[in-house]
Structure 1
């Protein structure tokens, strides 16, 4: 989103000593052009309207993310779901677990239980995640959340299958009045 990048540069200019490059365009296309091991962090916080586009939700996309990450790199994705079965979130966790050996999910308990629609943060890496530090930080937040990982995260998937390009769909639309 070019106008958003310009707004951030104008209102929150980065320190000139940072080695920060921002690229605009379709996230999957830009990532495909990046050299292997180029990034230590890939953040996917992409919405078309209020929904994550299907082509950014698949195993094939996450394999591209993993290729672009350096050995200790971290992927973080903001997804939305809730107020029901959490089928989209469960499938996204299964997708992340199919690509990354270490995964975690961070969200508010009410969202995790499907009681309300909201944000869930998925993390993936080839290296161990700092679960204890994440749990402490999330517990201190004014809106405390939970960090799920390991066997509880596997159980959370409820048998959901990883999403492929052939089965991908946009994230669920938020209920009316959510935003």
Structure 2
């Protein structure tokens, strides 16, 4: 593994690496990584348009299958710009709190679209007109995980107000399939606002393994095809408590 860049910001330590193997796959890869060693985005240098990681492939399938005529999308969390870059003809607004992440995505991952706003995703989303977004994608992480102000009842209420009638919120979380207090609380809180919800996870060897969990909330029944979910399968999450802005999880 070869280090290409290492940057520090007020938010995190950010590195760009190249490697000949990624998650057991041989090839030539470049990836963005935070200080917790979590890969935030990866590129196959031999096939730059191929989407390497499973979770963005699954999210793209949900977007294409649930509301295929979508036009406007708001993403919180840029990474290397995989999802927005996949749809150059759609109208994306990308909120990224860390300007260093944006800089590295342009310098090392060829992200060249002019649709990124640097700032807090919730604050930027608040400025969007109501019922104008077809999807809101949440893919934001700090050292402690998904920022808590992006998981509260008040936040989900705002996302509901910003979405069109066919709109949906899709979240990429990290957690365990069973008995994960935070993931259960996020899903329970989301269900207070959205009539329909689904949760999906990658297979794991142990119930204690931390994996990507995709949670989706929608105004309408969620449409998806299991064989197109890049290995993600549907799971049932447990009951949790309601997260509010005034009562964050500790």
- Whether these two folds match at TM > 0.5 is yes
SS of the equivalent of 1:123 reads strand
Q: Which has the higher contact order (CA 8 A, sep 6+)?
A: 1
1:59 maps to which residue?
153
The structure with the largest alpha-carbon Rg is 2
Aligned 8 A contact 2:106 2:112 in 1 = yes
Equivalence map 1:18-97=2 (5 Å): 21-82=115-176, 85-97=179-191
- Is 1:168 aligned to 2:168, yes or no? no
Change (3 A) 1:50 1:119: farther
**TM-score scaled by length of structure 2:** 0.54
1:147 maps to which residue?
234
Consecutive aligned runs of 4 or more in structure 1 exceeding 4 Å deviation = none
> What is the distance in 2 between the residues matched to 1:6 and 1:55?
25
> What is the distance in 2 between the residues matched to 1:9 and 1:95?
36
Aligned 8 A contact 1:57 1:168 in 2 = no
Aligned 8 A contact 2:200 2:215 in 1 = yes
Change (3 A) 1:145 1:25: same
Deviation of residue 57 (structure 1)? 1.1
CA RMSD of aligned residues (A): 2.4
Aligned 8 A contact 1:41 1:74 in 2 = yes
**TM-score scaled by length of structure 1:** 0.74
SS of the equivalent of 2:166 reads strand
Structure with the higher helix share, 1 or 2 = 1
Q: Which runs of 5+ in 2 are unaligned?
A: 1-97
Aligned 8 A contact 1:53 1:169 in 2 = no
Number of equivalences? 152
- Is 1:125 aligned to 2:218, yes or no? yes
Structure with the higher strand share, 1 or 2 = 2
Aligned 8 A contact 2:200 2:233 in 1 = yes
1:137 to 219, 224, 228: 228
> What is the distance in 1 between the residues matched to 2:112 and 2:234?
30
Q: Which runs of 5+ in 1 are unaligned?
A: 171-179
> What is the distance in 2 between the residues matched to 1:167 and 1:66?
21
